[in-house]
Each structure stands twice: as C-alpha cells, then as structure tokens.
Chains A and B, each alone.
Chain A
Amino acid sequence: MPNPHSAAMLQLNDVSKSFGPVVALRSVNLEAHAGSIHALVGENGAGKSTLVKIVAGVHRRDGGDFVLDGQPQDFGSTAESKTAGVAVIYQEPTLFPDLSVTENIFMGRQILGRGRRIDKAAMYAEAERLFAGLGVHIDPRRPALGLSIADQQIIEIAKAISLDAKVLIMDEPTAALSGVEVERLFTVARQLRDEGRAVVFISHRFDEVFALCDTVTVMRDGSYIATRPIAETRIGEIVNLMVGREVADLFPKQETEVGDVVLDVAGLTSPGVFHDVSFSVRRGEIVGLAGLVGAGRSEIARAVFGVDRYAAGTVTMKGRPVPTASPHAAIRSGMAFIPEDRRQQGLVTDGSVAENIAAVIRQHLTKGGLLTRAAENKAVTPWASRLEVKTSSLDAPARTMSGGNQQKVVIAKWLASEPDLLIIDEPTRGIDVGTKSEVHRLLSELAGQGMAILMISSELPEVLGMADRVLVVCEGRLTAELSRDEATPERVMHAATASQEMAS
C-alpha cells in the first residue's frame, strides 16, 4: 500500500495547453506519489495524451505549475525529461527494429570501456541483469524486430529502470496485450511501485484500474474533475465523473420511422481481426458501433464496404448480396463510407470544394467523355447549400477550410451519390464543439429522411445521444446490442471491456 505521508513525486497544478485555436487542456491537476500506482482515466479526447506529452517533454505547457521531485520543471525536449527521471511507456513503443535489444535499451548512453569505446560485453551483462530483475527472458543479443508489443514494453521498462526513472507513465499499455501479458505487466508495475517509483497508469479498462491502482484521477474535456482513492470509490462513480453531463440535452435526436432492413451482415469473420459479426441496419435508423479504440470497429466497417477482405460471412444490401473486396460494387449497391481520417482518405485537400463533392458522381456528369467546370458546379450547388458548407465559393481549395466544414464536404460528396446506407467513422473527431452539433443535426436529419446510418464513435455521449441502437464491439466480437433506452454508460462500458473481465 502507498505511504500516505510520502511527498508527491510528480505534481501538476492548473496546467493548460492550446494548439492554435483548439484548447487541449484547460486546467489539469495531477499528484502522483512515490510508491504508488496512480490511474488517469477519461474519455478519448479528454486530454490524457496531451498531458503525458507535456510531462515527457514533447509539448511545452502554456500555463500552470509542473513540479518533479520538488523541482519546478519546464522541459523543452524529451532528452531533458529523461535526464530528470521521467520515462513514458507508450501503447506501441517506438524501438529501433534493426538494432539489438541491448542497443535499444542503452542507445545514446552506452556503457563505455577503455578509450571511450563501447563496452558490448558489459552492456549485454547489464541487459541480462535488468531482464532477470523483471523476471522475463528476452535474449539481449536478438534484434528488436519481431518482438511482441508486450515484450517491446518490457524493453521500454528495462530502459526506464536502467535510467533509474522516478516517474513511469504507462499510456494505455494494455490495449494490445493478451490476458497473460497483462498479468506479467501488472507484476512488473507492482514491483516498480515497491521500489519506490511513482507509476501513472492510463487505461480505459476499469477492471484493470481497480485491480492495479491505489488512486484514480478523472479528466474530462481537458479539465481536472476529481481524484479518489480506489478503496473509496466504485466503477459507477468513475463513469459518471467521466461522462459528467446529461447526454440528451446535447444531441437533438429526431424521432424517426424505422423501415425495412437495408444492410444485413451475417457471420462476418476475418481471423485475428473480428469474429462472427452479425447485425442489420434499417431505413431511418442510426446504429452506433461503440467500443474501445482498437476493438475492430473500423475494420468491420472497412470489410463491409469492401476495402478489406474477409474470410467468412455475407454482406447483403436491400436483399442482394454484395461481393467481397470491391468498394466499387459496394457504392453501386447503395453504400457510402466516410472514413475516420478524412484528410488522407476522404478528401482531395488540394482540390476545390466542387471537385471534391463531385468526385463520386463524376461519371454521370460527363458529356461525350468531357467534364466541364460548369456541369460540376451545377450538380454540386444543391448539396453544398443543403449542408451549409461555408466557403467563399465552390472553387476554394478544401484545405483552407475548418475541420467541421471539411467533414461536411466529405458528407456532401457521398450524399451526391444518393446512398441508402451511410457508414461514418468517428463523425466528429477533430471538430470543434460548435460544429459538432451541426454534424449531429445533419446525421439526424438524414436518418429522418429515411437513410440508414452506421456510425462508429469512441465518444460515449455521442453514441448514447445519437444512436437508435448501440452495438458494442470488444476484441473483434459483438458483445452487446442495446436499444436506445437500455444503453447507459455503465452497460456500454461493461460490454466494451467484457472479455477482459472474463479472462481475469
């Protein structure tokens, strides 16, 4: 158990950070003690990663106090934070694949022997000793290439120990680990705690937070919400603190007439990615696909739309089977797919608004094989005005627009093809709060006009506020199907972490 009298090793007070006009952190407090494991929880976009990057020296804070082991700090580089005793273990560690495990641990501060030459034998012996101390077996001479994520994290931890780090931050380390690997990581984390280091543990999985940590700090929308000793709280309270608002007010969801089945997916399987996924989407219905990042939601959507192949199962649109691995066939069957990363996958950023919106329907606009600017503008104008895309003219390049307006151009592009089913991945990621509700209103209207919508979202309030039905994905499997009335934050979160709890 942590010693309540120990001094705070890491102390953040009222820390704030903005990226241009976007406020990432408003005011954050965090106090991590030596000999303790401190959980940091919050929804996606709550600002946890920004906070980690400030402590790690990747970003510089705009305001507030940052005290490490009694010393005020202001890191300008990762090298400075490392020297001061901060180590960060990322969800997917960044190692040098070509170099040996030992070189990865000691890069930049290799043990030197005679004449300032690197002493390889001493380094191998030291790596051997570090791994033995952690109770793991990794050959110090092997290359880092091909190590599992769990082993890569162990390398990072070994590096942190050899640096004698005082503060270890683990940023969602368990997201990609199997049950056994999580147990091994926990053993190591407890060992680090008992050695008197301060460990900050970021996770979405409440069972892990409650099993491992002794204190928990909740963040929401870039702000500090509360800190509780684990012994005096329960999952329900933490979830309420995390979500923290009445979701119904924020999302003006229209009541709609739910019609015939548009999309029917049965037994969709892609080994190692998702298994036996079956669901349907009806006309006029918004179906939310919820789950943790990396649970396989986007992969399911990409398979349905024919971007990725799948091994087994069927996709049926309006009663007709859709062939696998052909986005072209999917579009012809009436699907539209708006990917998460719209700048890279959904938008030609150097093209004009009109060119972007006309992209999908261009074939129908040609006369004798020729495409005129006039024909394009004529076909596009109703869609742009319907979505209230704010740009000075249709000729403006898409890259000059705000994130919200870009998203609307991408939506307009697909609406111009008049689809029956719209699959949209993270509709409001990277969009400011004001424009968010506009996108929500638009989706709601489209459903009201009879479109079937499959919406993937990591933001719990968005899913709960917008969806008529919620499907929860956990580790590639559908673990719950909840109606609008049944869907509560607790039930969704529970289903999203379901198999983890079964495993442990």
Chain B
Amino acid sequence: MTSETQPAVDLDEGTALLVEPSAMPRRERILKTLLHSRELSIAIALLVVIAAATIKSPDFVFSATGWRNLLLTPAMMLLLAVGQAVVIITRNVDLSVGSVLGLSAWLTGELFIAHPGIPWIVGFGAGLLAGAVLGLVNGVLVGYGKVPALVITLGTLYIFRGIVLTWAGSSIISASQMPDGFLNLGTAQILTIPVLFIIAMIIVVAVGYFLQTARSGRELYAIGSDPDAAVLYGLPVRRRVIGAFVLSGALAGLAGVVYAARYGTVSSDAGTGIELQAVAAAVVGGVAIFGGSGTVWGASIGAVLLVTINSALPMVGISDFWQQALVGALIIAAIILDRVLAARQARKLIEARDEQ
C-alpha cells in the first residue's frame, strides 16, 4: 500500500531510487541514475581494455594509425548494433543483418562498376534503400506470419546470402573497380576523427534521441515489455515491429556500404557471421534479450567494446582461443548480470511495498 503521503525514509538509497525517485532532488536523482546505469559500467570496462592495451603498447592509442583504427574499426558494428538493439527492444531479433550487409556491399560495388561517374552519396542511398527493403521483408513476415522472428530471420539469413552467392559467384569486386572518392571516405578524417565513425555516431545519436523522445519510440519499449498489454492498450503493434525491422535492415544496408568503403574489396561472403556479434554487442550493452529495456547508447558502447577487445587482446599477448572464450564469457556474464539485477530490483520493489 502506498496510500499515505510520506517520503520513504526507512528505505536504503538504492531502493529509494526505485520506489521514490521523485522524493530526491533533481540533480541527485540524475547522478544516482547515471551511477546505477549499465552504460556507465560498460564504458568503464571499455576504458580499462583500452588503458591495458595502451600501457602494453602506447601505439594502440598514441599513433596516427592506432587512433584511426580505434575509431574506424567499430563504425560498421556500431550501425549493426543500433539496429539490432531497436529490434531486440521489441522482443524480436534480426539474424539476417550479416546477409543484408553482404548483399548491400555487393550491390554498391556493382553500382559503381555499372555507373563509374556517379557521386559516392548515391552509393550510400542505394545501400540504405536496399537494406530497408530487405528489412521490410523480414518485418512483414514477422508481423503477419505469427512465427518467432528468430525462425523468420534465420530463414532470410540463408535466402539473402543465397542471392549474393548467385549474383557474385566466386568473383570479387576489387578496389580498382570503385571510384577513388568513395574509397577515400574509408580513410578520410575530420580533425583526426574518421568520417565513417562520424556517420555512425550521427546515426547512434539520431536513433537514441528518437527512442527517448518520440511516441513511436516509446511504443517500441512498451511492445517489448508486454506484447499482450500493448494490444490491449490499442498500440499499432504490427506497424511498429515492421518499422523496427525496416530500421535494422536499413542500417545493415548502410553498414554494407561502410564495409565496401573501408575494405575496398567485396566478395560474396562479406559480413558472414557478423549478426551474432551484433546481438552480442546489444546484450553486453544492457539491452534485455526479452525486450522492453536497454538503450542504443549501451548497445553502441557494447559494440565498441567487442570490436576493441578483438584488437586489444593480441596487444596484451592473449592467444586467439582465449579471445573468443573471453568474448563468450562476457556475453554470458552480461546475461547473468541482467537476470540477477532484474531479480534484485523486483525483490526490492516488492519488499518496499510490504514496508509501507
């Protein structure tokens, strides 16, 4: 019962933040929320990884190449993780992003071969659009098929990859076939910050801002939190879920263009297996695998962490096997941590109810 108007004085600070956040002064509330946030702890983990690698080999950060790679390598994964986070928040998953990336990268390459003179921006538009169309296919199948997204997108993972394989065969699009202006983007920097990283960050901020402040963004959380309740609330569940898949597809398509610009060569297996890293990045970043909570900020820090670990561990002298195992342990730890924290939070909230 909470019928009496009284501040919860006998609650400890953590519980007070949960049960009576409005009783705290605004600044204290914001500070406490930040300190308790998953984003902060994962960011600290990222800084520790970077610091460890830098102590071992200062070039990891303090060299032109090291600095550029530190920011450039995660750009592609950032885009995938943001799209994946939006889909997972709705209690779905998109396993087809690796194949969408491959298809979009190949399409971009073919486009530049067929029309050598077109400006590079057209390549970006084409990749984005192709990805959005493939995402729409996923969304419509999930929205109308009444089959779990896991199964649908596992199917489209193979179908989309099949299309790339048929189209590309064993041939490779090489750097010499793509316009220089496009390839320069892969290495171009503004104030030492790679352009591709800037593009990825603009997307992260835009999607994050949309999820926090738009009605449709908040509805994605509601749908993931309790899909049945969302129907009873009269929310346009199907349309929102389709929208989330279109966004995920479009960002995977954009990631395909980034892939082409960054590596310069595209073959039919571009992006194979990358979808699981995207899911891992979102989960490590605090997006609950059963939907309803998490942020794209967390997912993007998770993406940078996973990518950076892969390049940092060899610096510290850890073998390939242990790299993979460490990433796996990180994912399991993140999920267990989620469960434990959620259970503890639920227990605190219920206990607080009895105390009043």
Contact = CB atoms under 8 A, between A and B. Distances in A.
Interface of A: 58, 77-80, 82, 94-99, 103, 107-110, 112, 116-118, 124, 128, 135-143, 145-148, 150-151, 180-181, 184
B292 A96 contact: yes
28 contacts: A79-B235, A94-B229, A96-B221, A96-B222, A96-B229, A98-B292, A98-B293, A99-B218, A99-B221, A99-B292, A107-B235, A108-B222, A110-B218, A137-B2, A137-B4, A137-B5, A139-B19, A139-B21, A141-B21, A142-B18, A142-B349, A145-B349, A146-B345, A146-B346, A146-B349, A146-B352, A150-B1, A151-B1
Contacts of A58: 232
Contacts of B235: 79, 107-108
Contacts of B350: 146
B225 A77 contact: no
B5 A99 contact: no
B350 to A, nearest CB: 5
B234 A98 contact: no
B214 interface: yes
A148 B292 contact: no
B215 A94 contact: no
Contacts of A128: 22
Contact of B1 (A79, A95, A181): A181
B2 to A, nearest CB: 5
Contacts of A184: 3
Given A108-B215, A180-B1, 11 more contacts: A58-B232, A78-B233, A80-B234, A96-B226, A99-B222, A137-B3, A141-B21, A143-B349, A145-B345, A146-B349, A184-B3
B226 A107 contact: no
Contacts of A78: 231-234
A184 B221 CA distance: 31
Interface of B: 1-6, 18-23, 29, 212-215, 218-219, 221-222, 224-226, 228-235, 288, 292-293, 345-346, 348-350, 352-353
A127 to B, nearest CB: 10
Contact of B234 (A97, A108, A124): A108
Given A98-B225, A151-B2, A143 B218 contact: no
B22 A97 contact: no
Given A139-B20, A146-B353, A95 B226 contact: yes
A140 B222 CA distance: 17
Which of A79, A94, A145, A146 is most buried by chain B, counting CB atoms within 10 A of its CB?
A146
A99 B224 CA distance: 10
A103 B217 CA distance: 12
Nearest to A141: B21
A455 B228 CA distance: 33
B218 A103 contact: yes
B215 A95 contact: no
Contact of A107 (B1, B19, B222): B222
A435 B233 CA distance: 38
Contact of B226 (A97, A103, A143): A97
A128 B292 CA distance: 24
A151 B5 CA distance: 14
A238 B27 CA distance: 58
B293 A142 contact: no
A148 B3 contact: no
A112 B215 contact: yes
Contacts of B346: 145-146
Contacts of B225: 96-99
Nearest to A120: B213
Contacts of A180: 1, 3
A121 B100 CA distance: 40
Contacts of A141: 21-22, 29
The dominant DSSP class at the B interface is helix
A148 B353 contact: yes
A112 B349 CA distance: 30
**Top 3 A-B pairs, shortest CB-CB distance:** A146-B349, A79-B234, A94-B229
A480 B57 CA distance: 80
A210 B71 CA distance: 71
A138 B2 contact: yes
A80 B233 CA distance: 10
A185 to B, nearest CB: 11
Given A77-B234, A107-B235, A118-B213, A139 B22 contact: yes
B90 to A, nearest CB: 12
B213 A117 contact: yes
B229 A95 contact: yes
Nearest to A90: B232
A82 B4 CA distance: 31
Contact of A142 (B6, B20, B232, B288): B20
A142 B234 contact: no
A381 to B, nearest CB: 40
A141 B226 CA distance: 19
Contacts of B234: 77-80, 82, 108
Contacts of B353: 146-148, 151
Contacts of B215: 108-110, 112, 118
A117 B214 contact: yes
Nearest to A116: B214
A190 B339 CA distance: 42
A80 to B, nearest CB: 8
Contacts of B349: 142-143, 145-147
Most buried by B among A94, A95, A107, A145: A107
A94 B226 contact: yes
B303 to A, nearest CB: 22
A109 B216 CA distance: 10
A142 B22 CA distance: 8
A94 B2 contact: no
Contacts of B352: 146
A397 to B, nearest CB: 22
A143 B350 CA distance: 12
Contacts of B348: 146
Of the listed residues A78, A139, A147, the one surrounded by the most CB atoms of chain B closer than 10 A to its CB is A139
A97 B230 CA distance: 12
B143 to A, nearest CB: 16
Contacts of A97: 225-226, 292
A128 B6 CA distance: 14
Nearest to B89: A98
A478 B150 CA distance: 49
Contact of A98 (B19, B213, B221, B233): B221
Nearest to A97: B225
A107 B233 contact: yes
A136 B3 contact: yes
Nearest to A119: B213
B322 to A, nearest CB: 35
Contacts of A107: 218-219, 222, 233, 235
A319 to B, nearest CB: 42
Contact of A94 (B29, B214, B218, B232): B232
A145 B214 CA distance: 23
A58 B352 CA distance: 35
A95 B225 CA distance: 9
Nearest to B19: A142
Contacts of B222: 96, 99, 103, 107-108
A116 B217 CA distance: 12
